[in-house]
Amino acid sequence: MLEYDATGFLRGGVPHRIVAGALHYFRVHPALWEDRLRRLRALGVNTVDTYVPWNFHEVRRGEVDFTGWRDVARFVRLAGDLGLDVILRPGPYICAEWEFGGLPARLLAVEGLRLRCADPAYLAEVDGWFDALVPELLPLLASRGGPVVAVQVENEYGSYGTDAAYLLHLRDGLVRRGVDCLLFTTDGAHDTMQQGGTIPGHLSTATFGSRAPERLAVLRRQQPQGPLAAMEFWIGWFDRLGLPHHVRDAKETAASLDELLATGASVNLYMAHGGTNFGLWSGANHSGAHPCDAGYEPTVTSYDYDAPIGEAGELTEKFHALREVIGRYLPLPPGELPADPPRVAPQRLDRADGRAGLLEHLDVLSRVAERAAPLPMEQLGQDRGLIHYRTRVPGPRPGLPLRIDGLADRAHVFADGRLLGVLDRNSPGETLELATGEDGVVLDVLVEALGRVNYGPQMDDRKGITRGVSHGGQRLFGWQIRPLPLTDLAGLRYDDDAQDHGGGEGGGDGGGGGEASGGRPAFHRYTAVLDSPADAFVALPGWGRGLLWLNGFLLGRHSAEGPQRTLYAPAPLWRAGGNELVVLELDRPGSAVELRDAPDLGPTAAAPSSEY
C-alpha cells in the first residue's frame, strides 16, 4: 500500500519516492502494450501513470466496453507483472489533448446540462460512469493484491472551476464504491489553481515542466505538510495543426529533472511514451473568449510529444539522458536495453486500385434526417467524423453572400455539385458569393469535425452547424442531414479505372486533381504488399487533407498544413501479402502514397518556455 505522512510517501511502511512515467494504453496498439511497458521500465521508473477516458469506453449510451483495446485491467496487470506500480486517473474529465477531454459527446445534447460541476444532470451521468468503471478497478487495487497504488480525483480542476461540492461528490463516489487506495488531486503550480482544485484531507500534486523549486514552493504554500510531487512533469509538448513540431532539448530536460529530483520530490514524466491519437480521438484547444471567436487549435494525430520513448517505440537521445539522471536517485533495472522495433522496407504506391466519390455514396455511408434547420452532430447521435447538409436555394438570385453561423470546424460548400469554396471556424465572418438561376441550386455543405476542445472554458464545443445558414441575410430552411461517422466503408463502390485517376482525380502532379474534379471529395484505394508485418510511416506527398485507413483501421487525419508529414502505422495492423490503404481526400489528391521507414513529424521548434 502507498501512504504518506508529514514528510513523504511510505510504501509498506518504508520511505518511498515515486518516479513514474505516463503511458496511455488507449494511444498504443494493445499488441504493443507489453513492449512499451518494458521500455518504460528500462527507463528506470518504478510506476506507470495512465488516464482512463470515459468516451473511449462508452461506445454507446449505457454500453461500456472493457475488452480488446479497452481492456484497461489487462494493461494494469501487464504493468504489475513487470514490477511497476500503477497510478490511475479515471476522470471523469482527463484533458490529455484527447477528444472532449474524455467526456462523451452525447452530454452536449442534454438540454441545460452544465459540465464539470455539481449540476444534478451531469452528476447523474458521472455516477453511471463510475458504476461501470469502479468494479473493473477494484481487483486491481493494492489493497486487493493489485498494482494500483493511487487514484486521481478529477484532473486539473483548478484550471476550470471552483465547485468544491463537485469534487467531494467525485471523492465520495469513489470511496463509496470501494476505492480504498491513496486519492489525490492534480493542478497547475499556481495558487489559484491549487485553491480551486484541492480537496481537504487529500494529497495535492502539481503540474509543470521546469523551475522545480519555485513551482514546489507554490504547492508547499497550499499544503504545508506531506510529499511534494510533480504529477505531470512536462518533458515535451503536443503538436497543433499548422504549427511546428514541438521539441525540447534533451540535455535541458535532463537538467530540469535533476533539479526536481534533488529537492526530494516525486515525479511523473509526462509523457514517457506519447503514442498516437489514432482514429478521430485527438482533441483541440481554444484561445478565444467565446466559442465563435477565432482561436480554435486542433491537435494532430501524432502524440509523439518529443517523449523519451518515441511514437514507434524508439529509444531517443532524451531516453538516455533522462535514464542517466534517474540512475542517480534510483537503482536502474539490470539487463540490456530493448532494441528498436523493425521497420518496413520503403516503397512507393503510384497506382490507385480505384476511386469512390464521397458525395456519390452519401446514401451508402449514412441515413438522411429531414429537419427544418441544420442541427449539430450531437443532436443526431453522432460523436465524430463528417456531417453533410443539403438544401435548395431558390432563384433566380444575383450573387449574394452565403454565410454559416456556428460552424465547427471546416466546411466544403458545393452549388449544384460544383465547389463554391471552403469556410473555417477561425474566420467566422467569412462568406461565399452565390448566384442562382431560374431553378435555384442544390446547396451541399460537408462539415469536417476536427476534435472537441479538451481544455479551458470553451468545452461546450458542438460540431457541425450549430446556428444556421444564410443567403443574403435570409435563413435557409428545409434541410437533409446525413451524419458521416465513417465507421464502415464496406459499401463503397470503387471505380476500377485507376489508369485514369492515378493517385487522384486529376492526374499525377498532386496539385491539379482537385481542380479537375471540381474539388469533390473522394476515397482512393491502394494496395501495399509486405513480406512480413513491420512498423511503417505512411506519407501522402502532394495530398491536401483528409483521413487514412489501413486494412479498415482508421490511422488518423492527414493535412498539408502540417506539421505532421507521416502517419504511424504499427506492425500489428499489417499482414503479410496485400494490405489495403484507403485515403479520403477532401481538398486535392496527390499522385502517390509512400511507405517510409522513419517518421517525419515536420519542421521543429522549441515549445515556448511558458508551456513549461
Enzyme catalytic residues: 156, 232
Beta bridge partner(s), residue 347: 595
| Distance (Å) of CA 234 to CA 64, 100, 212, 306, 371 | 31, 21, 11, 10, 47
Do residues 434 and 469 touch, judged by C-beta distance below 8 A?
no
Do residues 461 and 100 touch, judged by C-beta distance below 8 A?
yes
The DSSP annotation for 110-149 comes to STT--SSSS-HHHHHHHHHHHHHHHHHHGGGBGGGTSSEE
Q: Can you say whether residue 211 is alpha, beta or left, with left for phi > 0 and alpha for psi between -120 and 50 degrees?
A: left
The Cα–Cα gap between 39 and 46 comes to 12
Q: CB count, 10 Å around CB of 210?
A: 20
The Cα–Cα gap between 505 and 314 comes to 37
Helix (H) or strand (E) holding 8: none
Do residues 276 and 97 touch, judged by C-beta distance below 8 A?
no
The Cα–Cα gap between 260 and 20 comes to 13
Among 50, 47, 52, residue whose Cα is nearest residue 2: 47
Angle at the Cα of 258 from the Cα atoms of 254 and 261, rounded to 5 degrees: 135
**224's grid cell:** 504545508
Hey, is 36 helix, strand or coil? helix
Burial per residue of 259-268, b for 16 or more beta-carbon CB atoms within 10 angstroms, e otherwise:
ebbeeebbbb
Among 419, 416, 421, 413, residue whose Cα is nearest residue 465: 413
Burial status of residue 213 (CB atoms within 10 A of its CB: 0-12, 13-18, 19 or more): exposed
Size of the chain, expressed as the number of residues it contains: 612
| Distance (Å) of CA 161 to CA 91, 115, 197, 319, 498 | 15, 10, 8, 36, 55
Hey, is 378 helix, strand or coil? helix
Q: How far apart are the first and last CA of the chain?
A: 32
Query: Which residue matches cell numbers 453533410?
Result: 388
Q: What is the 3-state secondary structure (H, E, C) of 493-562?
A: CCECCHHHHCCCCCCCCCCCHHHHCCCCCEEEEEEEEECCCCEEEEECCCCCEEEEEECCEEEEEEECCC
Among 240, 216, 339, 318, residue whose Cα is nearest residue 272: 318
The Cα–Cα gap between 76 and 71 comes to 9
